[in-house]
């Protein structure tokens, strides 16, 4: 029984519902892919537009800063603003140096001027170089610092008279 063909040349009835649902599923997938491609393209264009605007704004800012910094007076203003910002940060942190300076300012008597200030935070000491009009002002200054509860020891290290006739003296002060 070789070469026997059992086919009758009749086509089997096909189920059109299966192929129609497959075609519908493919169409839905194609629509979703197309929507994703359109959304992705739109987002890329939007991000590119924002990047261009940011670059243009930064360039305009840099140009404006360059114009402002060309004037020497404006450099002083910007420098002063930077100093103000730094001072605000120090005040917010309650820096020990600011507290000490405030106490020194409170204890400073008229006729005495500080020319040098050195603080050692670890040892809690101050070294002040001062100029006074006369020896009486030096004595009042030492008494003022000694009477403050903020300072525990006040010692005058040396005194001299300047060419202008002012008394120059240095003090070592221990903080409480």
Predicted TM-score (pTM) of this structure? 0.47
* Angle at 19 (CA atoms; ends 16, 24), nearest 5 degrees: 120
- Buried b / exposed e over 21-43, threshold 16 CB at 10 Å, is eeeeeeeeeeeeeeeeeeeeeee
Q: What is the C-alpha separation between 91 and 105, in angstroms, rounded?
A: 16
Per-residue pLDDT of the chain (176 residues; tens, 9 = 90+): 567 766 666 655 555 566 777 888 899 999 999 999 999 999 999 999 999 999 999 999 999 888 877 776 777 777 787 888 888 777 766 556 778 888 999 999 999 999 999 988 888 899 999 999 999 999 999 999 999 999 999 999 999 999 999 999 999 999 98
Distance CA 35, CA 39 (A): 6
Are the C-beta atoms of residues 104 and 130 closer than 8 Å to each other? no
């Amino acid at each position: 029984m070789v070469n026997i063909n059992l086919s009758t040349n009749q086509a089997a009835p096909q189920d059109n519902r299966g192929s129609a649902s497959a075609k519908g599923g493919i169409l839905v997938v194609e629509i979703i892919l197309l929507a994703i491609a359109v959304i992705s393209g739109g987002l890329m264009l939007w991000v590119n537009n924002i990047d261009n605007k940011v670059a243009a704004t930064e360039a305009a800012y840099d140009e404006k800063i360059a114009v402002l910094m060309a004037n020497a007076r404006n450099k002083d203003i910007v420098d002063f603003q930077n100093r103000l910002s730094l001072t605000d940060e120090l005040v917010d942190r309650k820096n020990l140096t600011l507290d000490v300076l405030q106490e020194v300012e409170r204890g400073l008597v008229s006729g005495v001027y500080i020319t040098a200030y050195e603080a050692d935070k670890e040892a809690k000491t101050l070294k002040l170089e001062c100029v006074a009009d006369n020896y009486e002002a030096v004595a009042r200054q030492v008494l003022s610092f000694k009477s403050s509860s903020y300072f525990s020891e006040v010692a005058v290290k040396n005194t001299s008279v300047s060419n202008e006739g002012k008394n120059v003296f240095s003090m070592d002060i221990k903080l409480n």
